[in-house]
Each structure stands twice: as C-alpha cells, then as structure tokens.
C-alpha cells in the first residue's frame, strides 16, 4: 500500500516525513497543496477527508489517516523500526529529543514570522547566556554535548529524531551558513545523515526542493504567491 503525505508546496513541517520515507525507501506519494490554490486544502479536503483532526502535514496509510508531525513520524518510525523501545527510559529519551527539536522548530518559525525579523535574528544567532528564550545557539550547545562520541542522537542506531534534527540544522544553515561553525559534532552529524546513500540521492534529486521553506507571510525563505491569500473567507 502506497503511503500518502499531504502538505503545502513548501519544505515546512512536511519535509522530515519525506526524508524518513526516502531513507526507508518506502513507496509514498505526495499530495501537494499549492499555495496559489490554498482553497483546495482549506475549503475542500480539510472538511471532507474524514479526518478527526485535519491538519497539514497528514499521512494516509490505507484507510488510516492521521495528522500532527510528531505523531506521523512516530507512527512511521514504529512501523518501520525507527522509533520506540521496550525500555521505557530509552523511549523517554527518544521522546525528549523529538519534543525538544519541535520546540526549536517553533522557535525558527517564530523568528521568520517576527514583525522585527532582523532584530530578532541577531538575538536568535547570539550565544549569550541571557538569550535562552530566543537563541538557537545555546540549544545547539546541548546537542553538541549529547552527540559527543555518538554517531547519531541516540547512539549508533538511527531513529526518526535524527532526520528531524537534520532538517532543523539544514534550515538554520539556510538562515546563516556559519551557524554550525562552533559545533563540530553537529556539523559531522549533519554530513553523516546526508551521506546515507538514500538521503544523498534524494537530496540530489528533483524531488528535493531546498526552497521555499516557509509560508508566504514569512520574512525569510517564504513561498511566493501570485494572488492574494484571504484566509478569513469561510465559504468556497
């Protein structure tokens, strides 16, 4: 059964799911909602797909439909051996990493949508101790330490969180190509993930689009739309 991943025509939150499925070489299709025709999602599929909590990204696996990035990644991970453990402490470590990366992803989203983007970008990229709310670098320091001698975030074995982290690092490098300069372990980790044969060929293929990363209202790497977006509209 071919899986279906639904998402906007941006890298956004959908890309990590693509990366995991490309690594696994699991057949999947993309249902891409183009921002120029956002009504297809908002006023058609969202209401009619029979999902309990319709959102983007979503995954369809046969008659099972589910949304929420973390949930989708864990579902795929459990199904194909890239998430989960019989050891509740190891499982909690996997969950902790996933939740933490999600927080960092939201921090990136807050930055790129900030009305004072340039000002906030300076704080985001500063490694000052009093910038914990907004700075990415202090959080990257934690990952640098966790990686230490480990090849991947949980050790020698890949898990879905590694792909989530790769994507987070990649979009931050798009924002500032020097962001990993002080983090040799993270830079090595990023290269290791992109050197996996399946990921290497995916990143070189036409399927992978580095940009746009964000929606049309973002101040950085946002999608270009050729028409007005009026999301207050309530009827098709």
Ligand X SMILES: N[C@@H](CCC(=O)N[C@@H](CS)C(=O)NCC(=O)O)C(=O)O
Identity of the residue, 24 or 223, whose beta carbon is nearer to ligand X in the bound complex: 223
Binding-residue pattern over the window 40 to 59 for ligand X, x denoting contact by CB under 6 A: ------x--------xxx--
Q: Output phi, psi for 30, to 5 deg.
A: -105, 130
Q: How many residues lie near ligand X (CB under 6 A)?
A: 8
**Site for ligand X contains 141 (CB under 6 A):** no
**Site for ligand X contains 20 (CB under 6 A):** no
Identity of the residue, 55 or 139, whose beta carbon is nearer to ligand X in the bound complex: 55
Identity of the residue, 171 or 180, whose beta carbon is nearer to ligand X in the bound complex: 171
Whether residue 105 contacts residue 57, with contact meaning beta carbons closer than 8 Å, is answered with: no
Binding-residue pattern over the window 58 to 97 for ligand X, x denoting contact by CB under 6 A: ----------xx----------------------------
Identity of the residue, 42 or 196, whose beta carbon is nearer to ligand X in the bound complex: 42
174 SS3 class: helix
Structure tokens at 40: 């297809």
Q: Output phi, psi for 63, to 5 deg.
A: -95, 10
Whether residue 104 contacts residue 141, with contact meaning beta carbons closer than 8 Å, is answered with: no
What is the number of the residue whose Cβ is closest to ligand X?
69
Residues 6+ apart with CB under 8 A from 231: 38, 42
> Beta strand 28-33 with 3-8: parallel, antiparallel or unpaired?
parallel
């Amino acid at each position: 059964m071919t899986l279906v991943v639904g998402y906007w025509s941006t890298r956004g939150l959908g890309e990590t799911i693509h990366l995991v499925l490309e690594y696994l070489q699991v057949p999947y299709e993309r249902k891409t909602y183009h921002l120029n025709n956002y009504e297809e999602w908002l006023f058609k599929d969202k209401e009619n797909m029979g999902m309990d909590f319709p959102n983007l990204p979503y995954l369809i696996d046969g008659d099972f439909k589910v949304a929420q990035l973390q949930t989708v990644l864990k579902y795929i991970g459990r199904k194909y051996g890239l998430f989960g453990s019989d050891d509740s402490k190891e499982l909690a470590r996997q969950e902790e990493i996933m939740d933490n990366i999600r927080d960092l992803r939201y921090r990136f989203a807050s930055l790129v949508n900030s009305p004072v983007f340039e000002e906030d970008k300076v704080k985001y990229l500063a490694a000052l101790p009093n910038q914990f709310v907004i700075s990415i670098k202090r959080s990257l320091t934690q990952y640098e330490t966790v990686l230490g001698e480990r090849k991947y975030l949980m050790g020698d074995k890949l898990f879905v969180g590694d792909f989530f982290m790769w994507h987070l690092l990649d979009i931050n490098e798009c924002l500032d190509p020097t962001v990993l300069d002080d983090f040799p372990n993270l830079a090595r980790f990023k290269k290791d993930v992109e050197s996996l044969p399946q990921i290497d060929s995916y990143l070189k293929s036409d399927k992978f689009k580095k940009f746009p990363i964000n929606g049309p209202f973002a101040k950085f790497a946002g999608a270009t739309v050729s028409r007005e977006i009026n999301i207050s509209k309530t009827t098709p």
